[in-house]
């Protein structure tokens, strides 16, 4: 069953119009009249609906029932902070996979070795929406503006995990309700940054007996954190 994104979806609606990009998406998928789809508003609400094509780029969706609140979401807050990569496609790949793996916050980090130019916010938002629909999530993760690494102290997470080749074998946290995974850019975090992070209440996790690329470390770490 395909999923589309309509932020105007609410529980007091019985019928909702599908226009513009989402209608074109349904047309590209060759959705037939009376075929069932899922609709998410990206804020925790999702429904099942049957659709009927009205015009070339306009459909009517008849809502049949709403799914459980926060359908498809993790029972905890999972966030990732990633040093901005010089390779835009690799950075966007990390975002896509992070959305698929359930993050609620995606934080681009400005670090000593990161790319200094901010990623295109419009592109990141579009990638996140596409990933949310693909994996049938009911919530669209928040994508922060790039922040300096030192500013992560403004966030309040029960646990902060640093992907570090000098770290220990991962030990899955059993009771933490909010977790931040930190992944460095090409070249990792600098010595100065590691010293700063070591002063915080963090755990350093080593994911392999070899150095991993940023995107590999991000996927590995988030996958582990999905297991508990």
CATH number at residue 109: 3.40.1280.10
Q: What gap in Å lies between CA 206 and CA 211, rounded to an integer?
A: 9
Task: State percent of the chain over pLDDT 90.
Answer: 90
Task: Tell me the mean pLDDT in the region 111-138.
Answer: 97
Same domain, 118 and 158: yes
Q: Decide if 105 is inside a domain.
A: yes
DSSP state of 227: -
The boundaries of the domain holding residue 21 are 3-66
Q: What gap in Å lies between CA 212 and CA 92, rounded to an integer?
A: 17
Give the total number of structural domains in the chain: 2
pTM of the model: 0.94
Same domain, 8 and 84: no
Q: Decide if 23 is inside a domain.
A: yes
Same domain, 24 and 133: no
Write out pLDDT tens, residues 149-181: 999 999 999 999 999 988 999 987 777 899 999
Same domain, 13 and 122: no
Q: Is the dihedral of CA 75, 219, 104, 132 positive or negative?
A: negative
Write out pLDDT tens, residues 56-78: 889 999 999 999 999 999 999 99
């Amino acid at each position: 069953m395909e999923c589309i994104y309509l932020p105007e979806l609410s529980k007091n609606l019985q019928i909702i119009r599908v226009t513009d990009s989402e209608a074109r998406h349904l047309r590209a998928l060759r959705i037939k009249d009376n075929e069932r789809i899922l609709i998410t508003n990206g804020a925790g609400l999702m429904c099942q609906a049957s659709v009927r094509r009205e015009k070339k780029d306009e459909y009517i969706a008849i809502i049949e029932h709403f799914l459980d609140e926060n359908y498809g979401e993790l029972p905890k807050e999972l966030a990732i902070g990633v040093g901005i990569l010089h390779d835009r496609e690799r950075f966007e790949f990390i975002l896509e996979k992070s959305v698929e793996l359930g993050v609620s916050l995606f934080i681009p980090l400005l670090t000593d070795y990161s790319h200094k130019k901010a990623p295109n916010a419009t592109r990141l938002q579009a990638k996140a929406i596409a990933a949310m629909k693909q994996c049938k999530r009911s919530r669209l993760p928040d994508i922060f503006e790039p922040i300096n690494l030192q500013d992560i102290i403004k966030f309040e997470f029960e646990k902060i995990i640093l992907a570090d080749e000098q770290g220990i074998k991962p030990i899955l946290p059993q009771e933490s309700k909010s977790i931040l995974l930190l992944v460095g850019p090409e070249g990792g975090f600098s010595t100065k940054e590691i010293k700063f992070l070591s002063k915080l209440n963090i755990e350093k996790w080593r994911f392999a007996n070899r150095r991993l690329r940023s995107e590999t470390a991000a996927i590995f770490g988030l996958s582990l954190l999905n297991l508990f």
